[in-house]
Amino acid sequence: MPDSRVPRRRRYLVCEPRHFAVQYAINPWMRPDEPVDVIRALDQWQTLVGAYRAHGHTVDTVKPVPGLPDMVFAANAAVVVDGRVFGSLFHAPERRPESVPYEAWFKSEGYEVYHPESVCEGEGDLVPAGRWILAGTGFRTTREAHREVQEHFGVPVISLTLVDPYFYHLDTALFVLDDDTIAYYPEAFSPGSREVLARLYPDAVLATGEDAMAFGLNSVSDGRHVFISPGATALAGRLADRGYVPVPVDLSEFHKAGGGIKCCTQEIREIRS
């Protein structure tokens, strides 16, 4: 395939894992009795930030808060489309305080933040995809939140039902490669949602169960480069065959909390000129 994929510079918001730990269990990956190597986690996180910057992307940071071990998963804090911020209302009480420091950061940057009335976990379940927003439900974000998102942004929202608790957020089962293409793991979705995705994206890149369990779908793409878990070897090969350039980044320490590359990355989407 010719070298035709074009990257687009992105702006990402991240949070240093200074207080990262697994202190409770709110998904099947989390085992509080399994220790977290915070030094290793910090090293992996710095490698991810370095990879983004090396590929020309802007990276902003929000200050971590003691007592909020999952605050490193910046994607869950909000979704930003055309410079408008839709905040989060976390399902788990343990995570609800995370919304406060993220909202403060956005306000310090001059943004207004919409407060959802329904449970909604940011880019964890809300994935802007060109003409519409793909929206997950089943474990965290509610269908009522999907309605709020559509009303707030004025963008069509496509509701998708997740059925496997290991893929509790949409961004663990699907990611956007560019405005026209996605990669996803079909078995993470209900039969009807699989049909919807097949109709919308007949040329999607499909992942295996092994790819998905290796957090291969918790990836970030700039349209050409795909920052991906090194364990998702089959998926990386399929992406390369389609003209994308896999950039392996090991975030395995964060897998202990059910997170990976995308979970640690909030994209700030301004209005395109």
The residues annotated as belonging to the active site are 169, 263
Q: Residue 264 in contact with residue 45, Cβ under 8 Å?
A: yes
Report the candidate in 113, 30, 108 with the shortest Cα–Cα distance to residue 63. 108
Report the 10 Å Cβ neighbour count for 48: 23
Q: Residue 44 in contact with residue 260, Cβ under 8 Å?
A: no
DSSP codes, 153-203: H---EEEEEB--GGG-SGGGTEEEEETTEEEE-GGGB-HHHHHHHHHH-TT
